[in-house]
Chains A and B, each alone.
Chain A
Amino acid sequence: MSKQFKNPVLNWIEYRLPIFSFIDDSVGSGYPTPKNLNYWWNFGSLAGFVLVIMIASGIVLAMHYTAHVDYAFNSIERIMRDVNYGWLIRYIHMNGGSMFFIVVYIHLLRGMYYGSYKAPRELLWIIGVFILLAMMATAFMGYVLPWGQMSFWGATVITNLFSAIPIVGDSIVTLLWGGFSVDNPTLNRFFSLHYLMPFVIVGLVVVHLWALHEHKSNNPLGVDIKGEQDLIPFHPYFTSKDLYGMAVFMMFFMFFVFFAPNFFGEPDNYIPANPLATPPHIVPEWYFLPYYAILRAFTKDFFLYWPVAWLITAKLAGVIAMFSSILLLLLLPWLDGSKVRSSKFRPYYAMAFWVFVIDCLVLGYVGGKPAEGTFIVIGQIATAYYFAHLVIIIPLVSRLERPKPIPESISAAVTAAHAKQAGE
């Protein structure tokens, strides 16, 4: 098991703590990976990379930040103006949040397209959904910390959602606030939890990787690994490919940090929080907009609300729908009944997938608009489609569709492709 080195110090360590073989088996030459992964498989390591950037920049910001309603806003401006390169660290952290969600959403959609959630990777997928939930909690609480207008009013709107829960709702809201309104105790606990949650995410990522290493990566063909001929070692093949991907991604990331640092933000958050003045449009950060649209779709005249109208309020229905929109993803491995993983061999599922992506974009667009006129109707149709995709279209299509013939193995398909290329 353990490795042998020429260097006696390395041998001494390896004999007592086999850390070198552990690293090698995790991300080195000892970790076999399907040879046909495309660039969409870069986004997993990219997400880990952004997580590290977020934790590093966040720890430095926390050294200069003051979690108090009277000082929070000004302490951030002190970081921007007087702390050495404080503006750089803060803009990295601020835009890093958006980058994290861009990367993770692509990672998640890649998993959906290539059927990475299917057996034997159901738990890997489920842990991933938990990571997404943890990220959302972290991002929401982080957005409150600058204590600008959107911080305050976003926190007020979102925490108030819990009051829709019958009987215990109001107690939960009081507990979240640490009082009877969003105030200093709220800011303090959000700061504490915002510092804690990233390490919870790190823990979940470790379990995510543990599950990944058990059955290895899925691949664009979605066929099982048949043997050595299908595999190449992670290092140097995917270390080099991931590093290249990271450099390209950093160009994208750094473009925003240096040239459009407030592109993803709301101008209102540069106004200090004022509990007496409500901003005309309260909108969450862009990565929450689809869920916000689902939440707001539930009005008295929305047909999805009618069946439960006798039981719960429209507000509660909206809250439940918003959380279900993510929690339903946990069931995806069983909602999808097809044995074939990759959409390459499932033309109808692939079509449904792209309509779903468009639907999510529509939801995001509607979520950023005021809830009036046609936006309400569009939001309701898109919401209905979102759930229809998960609980009707996927189960039906996956069971009715006759997939195209799948290749025998990864290496067989790769060889065939090369032969075709050479023939041209």
Chain B
Amino acid sequence: MKKMRTFKTSVAALALLTVAVTSGSAFASAGAPTPPKQDWSFSGLFGTFDRGAAQRGFQVYKEVCSACHSMNLLSYRHLAGIGFSEDEIKAIASSVEVTDGPDDEGEMFQRAGLPADRFAAPFPNTKAAAASNNGKAPPDLSLITKARGDGSNYVYALLTGYKDEIPHDVEVPEGGNYNAYFPGHVIAMAPPLSDDAVEYTDGTKATLDQHARDVVTFLTWAAEPEMEKRKTMGIKVLLFLLVLSGMLYAVKRQVWRDQH
């Protein structure tokens, strides 16, 4: 009976842990308000990326964010992960010019982008990026949702957190913008999104909220492209281990029967 209790305790501990983990990171950062929890297609143990939202999010990134923000860790071929077809990827890649070389004469040359190329960056290097942006380079967005605490909710809160009414205890200097969720509340980035910032081809209503949701879905995928595979495999692994534990427990009881 005692053994059974031990087993039950471990199961209960595991369940408790699930609650603790899914209800948010234990190490939330201080200094800015906690971003409200959003209902994401990719949250939860079975969550997957909403392909439509991720593709629209890519459009938002391409047409708005990519003017300042690079995504150096991604190649165009990776876009297959959010449902773009091979031809679509080729078309997207070929829309940019890439410097390649040196060729047999030792010269660098320009060519159309290929699926294997990295996302074209807006600036040749971080110094150039800083020089064009009041001395501070806009961060690369490849990992942005993993590089901030509670990243997806935070980026969404940030993108929708520009308020016209500035609380009087916050001083916003020249070239700064007030943002309710940015640590310190003064952010260099001007409000990037607004209603109808991007014209969606699939007929989705182009509101600020929609843009923010879509681009966060895209960025979360970009930071964790393995997530769907990870969760599907995880369910199988845990189920397997559950059965294995049960069987090994039975073996253990059988072996120990003459000792009890």
Contact = CB atoms under 8 A, between A and B. Distances in A.
A270 B139 CA distance: 12
Contact of A271 (B10, B147, B235, B251): B147
Nearest to A74: B73
Nearest to B78: A81
Contacts of A280: 29, 31, 183
Given A81-B73, A247-B248, A267-B146, A258 B238 contact: yes
Given A35-B259, A240-B252, A252-B14, A77 B73 contact: yes
A310 interface: no
Given A87-B230, A247-B244, 8 more contacts: A35-B259, A77-B142, A81-B225, A88-B233, A240-B248, A240-B256, A267-B149, A267-B151
A280 B78 CA distance: 33
A80 interface: yes
A247 B259 CA distance: 22
A368 B148 CA distance: 17
B4 interface: no
A179 interface: no
B206 interface: no
Interface residues of A, number: 41
9 contacts: A91-B230, A240-B256, A243-B248, A251-B245, A257-B234, A267-B147, A267-B148, A271-B139, A281-B29
Interface of A is mostly: helix
A252 B17 CA distance: 9
Interface of B: 6-7, 10, 14, 17-18, 21-22, 25-27, 29-31, 45, 73, 78, 139, 142-143, 146-149, 151, 183, 223, 225-226, 230-231, 233-235, 237-238, 241-242, 244-245, 248-249, 251-252, 255-256, 259
Interface string A248-281: 1011101111111111001110110000000011
A180 interface: no
Interface in A278-320: 280-281, 283
Contacts of B142: 77
Contact of A39 (B6, B73, B183): B6
A277 to B, nearest CB: 10
B105 to A, nearest CB: 29
A370 interface: yes
A71 interface: no
Contacts of B241: 247, 250-251, 254
A121 interface: no
Contacts, number: 104
A91 B230 CA distance: 10
A259 B230 CA distance: 8
A223 interface: no
Given A232-B259, A240-B256, A251 B242 contact: yes
Contacts of A368: 27
Q: Which of B151, B231, B248 has the most CB of A within 10 A?
A: B248
A244 interface: yes
Q: Which of A236, A255, A260 has the most CB of B within 10 A?
A: A255
A423 to B, nearest CB: 15
B19 to A, nearest CB: 12
A248 B255 contact: no
A271 B142 CA distance: 10
A354 interface: no
Interface in A91-113: 91
A362 to B, nearest CB: 15
A263 B25 contact: yes
A15 interface: no
A389 interface: no
B230 A88 contact: yes
Contacts of A247: 241, 244-245, 248
4 closest Cβ contacts across the A-B interface? A258-B234, A270-B147, A247-B245, A244-B248
A87 B230 CA distance: 9
Contacts of B238: 251, 254-255, 258
Contact of A270 (B7, B18, B143, B230): B143
A256 B20 CA distance: 12
Given A237-B259, A258-B238, A270-B147, A244 B252 contact: yes
Q: Which of A35, A77, A368 has the most CB of B within 10 A?
A: A77
Contacts of A232: 259
A263 B26 contact: yes
A207 B220 CA distance: 47
